[in-house]
Structure 1
């Protein structure tokens, strides 16, 4: 396998742009003063991204994963994060062995 200089430069350029975009977001977010609906919208971004990553996998891989995702979602309203993760992992393992 040979290393093409154009490909290497494209990868490095994409990495630099990605890094600058992420760091730039941190600097801009610190300067924003958000109130009301704008603050609520910005606070909703992390859970929305997490659900958009997890939901397709949970719903397309099988019944065990879908049920485990539902159990984890219900538990997440009552327990802290570490307990929720543990119950989610245990439930998917148990359900994969049962189903």
Structure 2
């Protein structure tokens, strides 16, 4: 396999742009003063990203995982994080053995 100059340049340019985007986010986030709806929107980003990563896996692997994901979601509204993780792991183990 050989790398030609345009391909290598494109890879390097994409790496630089990705790095600058990440670094810029750190500098800009400290200077933003968010109130009201903007603050609520920024606070909703981490859970939205987490759901977008977990949901496809939970819903395409089988019934046990889908039901365990629903149980874990309900537990997340009532329990602290560590307890929610324990409920999720326990429910998927039990459901995999039953289904």
Q: Same fold (TM over 0.5)?
A: yes
For 1:75, the equivalent position in structure 2 comes to: 75
Measured on the aligned residues, the alpha-carbon RMSD in Å equals 1.8
Q: Quickly say closer, same or farther: Cα 1:5–1:73, change in 2 above 3 A.
A: same
Q: TM-score, normalised by structure 1?
A: 0.83
Please give the per-residue CA displacement for 1:31-54, whole angstroms capped at 9, x wherever unaligned. Answer: 011111111111111111111111
- Secondary structure of the 2:96 match is helix
For 1:66, the equivalent position in structure 2 comes to: 66
Structure-2 separation of matches of 1:67 and 1:36: 35
Runs (5+) with no aligned partner, structure 2 = none
Runs (5+) with no aligned partner, structure 1 = none
1:92 CA drift (Å): 1.0
Number of aligned pairs?
98
Q: Does 1:4 align with 2:33?
A: no
Q: TM-score, normalised by structure 2?
A: 0.83
Structure-2 separation of matches of 1:44 and 1:76: 15
